[in-house]
Amino acid sequence: MSSRIPTSTSVTESAVINAPLSAVWHLIKLQDFHHFWTKLEKSHHVKGTSHETDVVKWTFKDGTVLEVKQEEHSTIDHYITYSVITATPALSYSSVISTIRCFAVTSGQDEGSTFVQWSGNFSSDADAGVIEDARFKRKEALADLAAAVAKK
């Protein structure tokens, strides 16, 4: 019998951001995440990768460094999908693929706002601590995104 606690290996967090889709979508570029995510010290394109591959290095203020690869991008449907390809220190799980989707809120009390959804699908070796950490980080980053657009 395994001593591991069974857990879902996916997480989805969302927020309604009081700004139009165009203002929010403008910040959803992997190389620009440091403009809103306060835990990031810097983010920039990695040189020397294929011209067909977008790889961005995220350096966090706690010293963690991730290289993320953009897997999908749609300016029509307003989403990006990325995967972590390297991490220092090493991750405790094999892989994760994340998607950020933005939708214009077109009616109701939040009309003119943007609904943002940030999901992550982890490999089966991710434990409950990894999933909870991902949930917390997404909530924090979505709050940072809302604050960044409010300043503009």
- Tens-digit pLDDT profile for residues 29-88: 999 999 999 999 999 988 777 777 889 999 999 999 999 999 999 999 999 999 999 999
Whether the CB-CB separation of 127 and 4 falls below 8 Å is answered with yes
113 — phi, psi (to 5°)? -95, 180
- Tens-digit pLDDT profile for residues 93-130: 999 999 999 999 999 999 999 999 999 999 999 998 99
* Amino acid at the residue 121: N
pLDDT of 138 reads 97
What's the CA gap between 140 and 130, in Å, rounded?
Answer: 15
pLDDT band at 5 (very low <50, low <70, confident <90, very high): low
Interval 135-144 mean pLDDT: 97
Burial of 52 by CB count in 10 Å (0-12 exposed, 13-18 middle, 19+ buried)?
Answer: exposed
Of 101 and 6, the one with more pLDDT? 101
pLDDT of 2 reads 53
Of 53 and 15, the one with more pLDDT? 15
How is residue 28 annotated by DSSP?
-
Interval 2-11 mean pLDDT: 71
Prediction pTM value:
0.91
pLDDT band at 1 (very low <50, low <70, confident <90, very high): very low
Whether the CB-CB separation of 100 and 70 falls below 8 Å is answered with no
What's the CA gap between 111 and 104, in Å, rounded?
Answer: 8
Of 6 and 125, the one with more pLDDT? 125
Quote the tokens at residue 106.
Answer: 């077109």
